[in-house]
Structure 1
Amino acid sequence: MIDICILGTCGMMPLPGRWLSCALVRNGSTLTLFDCGEGTQIPWKSLGWGFRQLGTICLSHMHADHVAGLPGVLFMVAHAGRTEPLHIYGPAGTSYIIEGLRRIAPELPYPIIIHEIKGYERFTLEGGLQATSAPAAHGIPCLAYRLDLARRPAFLAEKAKELGLPVQYWSKLQRGENIEYNGQDFHPAQVLGPPRRGISFAYITDTRPTNQLIELAQDVDLLLGESMYDTVDDLPLARTNAHMVSEETAGIAKAAGAHELVLTHFSPKIHDTRQAEKAARNVFPHTRAAKDGMVVTLDFPN
C-alpha cells in the first residue's frame, strides 16, 4: 500500500489557500517527495507525516516553482533528526541548482547524494519502490516519473504441507529464498502462486504530450498530471509555454490505460478547477481535480 498526498496544486506561484504543485508519497515509514516549490514544508507540516523519514526527492526540472522550497525542507528534515543520506534525483543541471540553494543551508547532519539522470532510467528507492524516469517536453531538461510497488506471489500453504515442510521454513520461501531440509533442496516456485499485479503511480507535469509519457504511464493505478490550462481555447498558450490543457493530460491517461487521473498544477488564473475536471472527463471519465492536502491511497487488489 502507498499513500500519496498532493501537498499543493498551483503552478508558477503560491496563492492564498493553494500551495505550489508537489506530492508526497508514503510507503510504510518511508517518504518520497516529488518537486519542492516555495513553502512546501508548510502544508507538509499540517499533514502530520513527519520529516525524518524523507529518503528521496525527485525533481521534475529546475524552474523555481519546483525547487525553491528545498532549503526549508532540508532544514525541517535536519530538525527532525535525520542522519541517514538523502537522495535527490533530477535532470541535467540539478547539482548546479542545489549547490546554489545549499548556500543558505550549508550545514546539515546528513549527506545529500545527487543523481542527475536523462530519462529511461530505473532506480530503487527506500522501502522497495522501483522508480522509472522518462524525458518530458518542457524546453529545458525535464523528467516525468513512475513508481511501482511489486506484490509477492501468494504463498500456497497446502503445497508446503504436501511437501512436508515445517512452518519455520515457510517465511524464507515466501521471501524468495531456497532452503534445504532433510537433505533436499526446496525452491520458492514449489510453494508460490503465479505473479500478481502490483500498484503504480505516475507523476507527469510541465510538458507537452509525448509518446514517451504514454509509455511511462502504461496501466498505472494513478496518474497525477498537470492541468496548467483548463480549456482548449488556451491551447496556443500551452504550446508556447510547453504545458498541457486538461484534455491533453486526459488523452495521455486514456492512451496509457491508466486507472485514474488526478489533475494538478493549475494556473494561478484558474480559481475554479471544476471546468478542467469536466473537460478532462469528456476524454477520460475517471478524472478528478486535486485539492491541496488530498490523500489518495493505492492498495493491492484483493
Structure 2
Amino acid sequence: MGILAYGFGIELLGTHWRLAIIAGSMAMFIMPVVANLHNSYTDLEEDARNLPGRISLVYAVGVKNLKRMVRYGLALVVILCASIGWLAFILAVVGVLLLLSYSAPPLRLKARPFSGLLIFSLVIAYPFLIAVTAGETWAKWNSPLEEHRWIWLAYLVLLFMAKGCVKNVPDYEGDMIASIRNSATRFGSIQKASMFAVCATWICYSLFPFVVFLTQAPANLYLAIPWVLVAMLHVARLLRSDSPAYLNSVLKWDMAVSVVFLAHLVVLVDLSTSGWTLALCCIFIIIFADAIGADSRANNHLPQQADETPIDDTRLGRHCNES
C-alpha cells in the first residue's frame, strides 16, 4: 500500500518517473517490510497469544538475524530516498526513527491509543508525503507545498487511522493480556471495539468524494466510489463474530480492499501507463502472496482453543530479553 500511496502522489502532481523516483518506489516497498520484521521481535508477548505462527517464524529466523535485516533495510531506504532529493532524505530519516519507536521501548507508541494510530497511518501517508515533495531535488530548495497536497495527506492519515482501529480488533485479547492500551483495548469489550472501528471507517470513506471536490482533483476519481461502498460494507462484517480466526479473515480482506481502492486512485488520477503498471504490479503482489500462503494471520497459525496453544514462557522470556 505504501507504493500505491507513493504512486498516487507522483501521478497527482504529474511528476516524471525518472530513475530517482523509481528508486523511491522501491524504498516505499522495503520500508513496511522492514517495519514488519522489526515488529515481529518487539511484539513477542502479545503475538505469543494472538499470532503463535509468527512467533515460530521469529524462532526459526532468530532475533539477531532479524535485527541485522532491519538495520540493512533501513539504511537502504534512506539511501534510496536520498537519491530523490534533500527533503525526501530528511523525511526518510525521521520516518526511520518513528518506525523504530512504534513497537519498541522506550516510546513504544503502539501502546497508546492516539499515537499508535497516527504512526500506523504513516504507512501510506509518509510515502505520499515523500512523493508530493519529490520536486525538491538537491539542486532545488524552494518549491511551494500546495494546499491540495495537504488535504490529501490529512485524508490518508484519517483513513488509515481508521484502518488501524480495524487492525487492532483481532488482537484484542492478546493486547489486553499484554496491557497494551490501544484503540481496541480502551473499550470494555471486543464488540464495542468493533463498532468503533466500523464507525470510524465509514466516516472516513464517506469523506472521499468531498476530498476529491475540495482538491479539484480529476473527476475520474469519482469512479472509485463503488469501491468505497464495497469497503464500507465489508468492514461491517467485524460485527458478526468475535472469533479470532473470523476477525483475522475480515482484516485480511479489508486490507485487500484497501489495496484495490488505492490502486484505483493511482490509475484514475491520470490514466497513464505508469499508473496502470504500478497498480497491476501491486495487485499481483497480494494475489501471489496469498497464493503461496505467506500470511502469518492465516487460520492455521491461530489458536482454536486456549489449551491447544501452550506458550513456552521460558523461551518467550529469553527472546524478549534479546530484543
TM-score bin (small chain): 0.3 to 0.5
Which protein has greater RCO, CA pairs closer than 8 Å, 6+ apart?
A: 2
TM-score, normalising length: structure 2? 0.32
Kindly name which structure, 1 or 2, has the bigger radius of gyration based on alpha carbons: 1
More helix by share: 2
More strand by share: 1
